[in-house]
Amino acid sequence: MHGRLTGLDFYVPLGALDKAGVAYWDGRPFFRSDVMDEWLAAIGTETFTSTSFSLGVIGFEVSGCTDASALAGRMPKKTRDIGYLLPRGDVLHYGAANT
């Protein structure tokens, strides 16, 4: 079944990561971790295969930080302090945080 997702927040409590023994902090502000961002991007990409959405954002407390209409279908190219999952047609593109 292929549907359209209107909203989804996926949150992993830091205590759960501690309990699982996952190294999630690499010294950058707000617990930035390329490993965690890639993992969350993979979850978003897999979700997109069965349920489309207009924008995904990845990072620390990103809910409400932007919306698909503000981006107008364009991936931010300069400094990105969060990751973006942005569809173009049926293809989902991932723009990793680069700060």
pLDDT at 1: 47
Determine phi and psi for 86, rounding to 5 degrees.
-130, 115
Low-confidence ranges of the chain (pLDDT < 70): 1-3, 5-9, 28-32
The pLDDT, as a whole number, for residue 2 is 61
- Per-residue pLDDT, 85: 93
Query: What three-state secondary structure class fits 72?
Result: coil
Q: Give residue 6's pLDDT.
A: 61
Dist. CA 99–CA 78, nearest whole Å: 10
The model's pTM: 0.79
Q: How far is CA 11 from CA 18, 48, 76, 79, 89, in A?
A: 14, 17, 23, 24, 27
Report DSSP state, residue 30: G
Task: Give yes or no for a contact between 83 and 41, defined as CB atoms under 8 angstroms apart.
Answer: yes
- The confidence score (pLDDT) of residue 91 equals 93
